[in-house]
Amino acid sequence: MALESLPPGYRAAVFGARGAIGAAFVSALCADPRCSAVHAGARGEVPIRSPKMRAFRFELENEASIATASEACLTGGPLHLVLVATGMLHDEFVTPEKTWRALSRDTLQKSFAVNAIGPALIGKHTLGHLAKGVKSAFVALSARIGSISDNRLGGWHAYRASKAALNMLIRNFAVELAVGNRSAICVGLHPGTVDSALSRPFLAGVQPERVFTPELSAARLLRVLDGLTPSQTGRLFAWDGAEIPF
């Protein structure tokens, strides 16, 4: 799909371009005739699949790396779209907690480092370089599970809390961004349940029709983004356009 609300020749940067949704974002943006450049970054090598792509590497838990990567993305001018598609629910050492008895300092620190601090530092180094006078956007993948008011089940403490922190950062960024760049927006987007390495271990109880491919989720999120205006900055939206309360 074409992002009609962004100016012709818009320039985008995707942090987390090797993840399932991040890679789908990159493919969709490269296919958009209105997009002139897609900077695609990850910890490892990012395969170049289009003449529009500009690959870069960064370490999400290293601010100097993020600063260097962000500066590289500015080659050619300001950015019109920054997509932060990073995130962690589990790894070989971390699993979602079913009870407070399973909480640990290491799990909390890792979850906050990846889900909140990393995106925050990407914002630090890119928000001031969003194009002015036209629509531009800073977007971070968040999750409904990070909504405090929507929490009815409990559990998954570190993941929930780190995503809630990300949501607060998005709101804070939006308030500050509006002071000097009123045409820009800063939002969180919830991709739904996606068939990816992040969610695959937890799909057993999910109805198949409620599990999206990364390509479908990315397309839906870009459609939602295309319809957002500066009056909606600082909020969290789901893949179907519904606003999720913080």
Torsion angle of the four alpha carbons 61, 163, 227, 41, in this order, in degrees rounded to the nearest 10: 20
Which strands make up the sheet holding 184-190, listed edge to edge? 53-57, 35-42, 10-15, 81-84, 136-141, 184-190, 236-238, 243-244
Measured CA to CA, the distance from residue 224 to residue 235 in angstroms comes to: 12
The domains of the chain, with CATH numbers, are 10-244 (3.40.50.720)
Q: What pLDDT was estimated at residue 201?
A: 66
Q: How far apart are CA 242 and CA 13, in angstroms?
A: 25
Q: Residue 93: its pLDDT value, please?
A: 79
Does pTM surpass 0.75?
Answer: yes
| 45 C-beta neighbours (distance < 10 Å), count | 9
pLDDT at 228: 98
111-121 pLDDT, tens per residue? 999 999 999 99
Q: d(Cα 22, Cα 14) in Å, to the nearest integer?
A: 7
Confidence (pLDDT) at 193: 85
pLDDT < 50: residue spans in the chain: none
Per-residue model confidence (pLDDT) at position 198: 63
Residue at token pair 């990070």: 146
CA–CA separation, 108 vs 21, rounded Å? 24
Tokens 């996606």 belong to which residue?
194
The pLDDT, as a whole number, for residue 165 is 98
Exposure on the CB side of residue 9, measured as CA atoms within 13 A? 5
CA distance 61 to 114: 7
Rounded-to-integer distance, Cα 179 and Cα 119, Å: 21
pLDDT score for 197: 66
CA–CA distances in Å: residue 137 to residues 54, 77, 102, 154:
19, 15, 38, 32
| pLDDT on residue 78 | 97
DSSP codes, the chain: ---TTSPTTEEEEEESTTSHHHHHHHHHHHH-TTEEEEEEEESS-----STTEEEEE--TT-HHHHHHHHHHHTTTS-BSEEEE----S--SS----SSGGG--HHHHHHHHIIIIIHHHHHHHHHGGGB-SSS-EEEEEE--GGG-STT--S---HHHHHHHHHHHHHHHHHHHHHHHH-TTEEEEEEE--EESSTTTGGG-TTS-GGGEE-HHHHHHHHHHHHHH--GGGTT-EEETTS-EE--
Q: Of 122, 135, 99, 128, which Cα lies nearest the Cα of 22?
A: 122
Q: What is the pLDDT of residue 210?
A: 74
